Structure 1
Amino acid sequence: MTAEVHLTWPATWSAKVLRTPPLIAPARQFMYPQYIPGEEDAMTRGAMLVEVKPASGGTFLATCARGFESPSLPSGVWSCPNADAMLAVAGGYAYLIHMIEPAKCLHVEQRPVTEVLVAQDAGLILLAGFQNIVALNASGVAWTSARLTWEGITLGEVRDGSLHGTGWNMMDDRDVPFVLDLATGQHTGGGF
């Protein structure tokens, strides 16, 4: 699993994705997801290790369970519209980690995340799934779109406050364009 750090917005932290556990682990360590019924074996799929240096509170190691083993699903770290927050995506599972209280991580409900797109002018990070999109803003989850497709979303370009993409229509067996308003999450078109 190759994962990178993507710094679009200013951040009060720095991070490094590790290939192996550190020889000397920091005193503070957090495992994500925290206990969720049905996810007891999440760590058996492997994990992305991230060494995080926040502005205060000391370095910590974030161990982020991979949601799925597919190499086609995204993994990496993204800065957020909130400078004190970090988005970690590991094998399609998304974790919104706040630097002031990293123990209180939000495990984003979009599972799996199939694509990540930063809409900087709108102040959003878009997380595509198989059927809908979740938008994160400076406060957390801004909105979740309605179902856009039967199965499979392709994120296109952001222009004029809208996301242009396509979604598969089962009846016609083709991708159908949609336009999604980034302010509200409402859409027109799509394959569903």
Structure 2
Amino acid sequence: MTDRAVHESFEHSWTAEILPGRPLILPRRQYVYPNAAEEVERGALEVMVRPRADSGHEPFLATFALGFRDPLAPTGVWAMPNPEWLCAVSGGYAYCVHVMEPERFVFLRYRPVLQVLTYAPENGAAPEGLILFVGHYSVLAWGRDGEAWESDRLSWEGVTELKIEAESTDAGTRNVLRGMGWDLIQDREIPFTVDLATGQRV
């Protein structure tokens, strides 16, 4: 999943351009993620970020250290439920950055992130909006105010066939994440369903 695209599922207060390499002329503002990375430029994701024009903040170059060279590890930029944040994934290493204060960032503990999904509801559906980071065994969800929930172990060896859909219940409609996970005891893949509002299995 190395499409190196900018995904704009949520409203956001910035624009981003993924560069083919490090520019010869560097902007005045530059940030490297994570701060203590060694040889960060080797294979790094270089992104020119421009906060909205009326914010009073200058554009900056963001350099995101590469995680893995595996072609299955995602690389790209995602808008987040909070319009002032962006998420950059570089070879499965995921970084959430506050665009107005780029020194504020979170280096996600899932290393690697294997897939990124977005849930951007319409008409005020609950939850308000989530970006989902899929790891080998579980899923980590971020909402407008940061980390929203983490699922329990969904698999012993990777999750597959993920899809977000609405499900009817006696209490109404809820939005869920469905997928398949490998069960060590049963030695086979079994389906799972996670409530997007809580992160709990249903």
Give the CA deviation at 1:45: 5.5
Q: 2:170 matched to which residue of 1?
A: none
Q: What displacement does 1:46 show?
A: 2.2
TM-score (norm 2): 0.86
Alpha-carbon separation, structure 1, partners of 2:187 and 2:84: 43
Deviations 1:52-72 (A, max 9, x none): 001231110010011111111
**Alignment equivalent of 2:44, drawn from 44, 47, 54:** 47
State the identity %.
43
Question: 1:113 and 2:113 equivalent?
Answer: yes
Q: Select 1:162's aligned residue among 158, 176, 179.
A: 176
Contact 1:151 1:167 in 2 (8 A): yes
Quick check: 1:45–1:68 contact (8 Å CA) kept in 2?
A: no
Match of 2:157 in 1: 151
1:23 Cα shift? Answer: 2.4
Matches within 5 A, 1:82-93: 82-93=82-93
CA contact (8 A) 1:42 1:67 kept: no
Contact (CA 8 Å) 1:73, 1:91: kept in 2 or not?
A: yes
Give SS of 2:198's match. coil
1:175 to 165, 186, 189: 189
Instruction: Tell me the distance in 2 between the aligned counterparts of 1:2 and 1:8.
Output: 16
Is 2:63 the counterpart of 1:66?
Answer: no
Give the Å deviation of 1:152: 0.2
Tell me, yes or no, if the aligned pair for 1:45 and 1:67 is still in contact at 8 Å: no
CA displacement, residues 27-72 of structure 1 (integer Å, 9 cap, x when unaligned):
111111123xxxx547275210000001231110010011111111
2:106 alignment partner AA: L
In structure 2, distance between residues paired with 1:18 and 1:2: 13
Q: Quick check: 2:6–2:16 contact (8 Å CA) kept in 1? A: yes
RMSD: 1.6
Which aligned segments of 4 or more residues in structure 1 are displaced greater than 6 angstroms? none
Q: Residue 155 of structure 1: CA displacement?
A: 4.8
Distance 2:61 2:143 in 1: 24
Q: Structure 1: which 5+ runs fail to align?
A: none
Q: Return the offset for 1:166.
A: 0.9
* Contact 2:3 2:74 (C-alpha < 8 Å) held by counterparts: no
**Which whole-Å deviations, capped at 9, do the CAs of 1:109-141 have from their partners, x for residues lacking one?**
111100111111240011000001000111111
Change (3 A) 1:142 1:42: farther
Distance 2:146 2:90 in 1: 18
Structure 2 Cα separation of the partners of residues 29 and 81 of structure 1: 25
CA distances 1:78-107 after superposition (whole Å, capped 9, x unpaired): 111111110101111111011121111111
SS at 1:117 equivalent? strand
Give the paired residue count: 184
User: Which is higher, the Rg of structure 1 or of structure 2?
Assistant: 2
- Give the aligned residue type for 1:110: Y
Q: Map of 1:121-136 to 2, 5 A cutoff?
A: 121=121, 122=127, 123-136=129-142
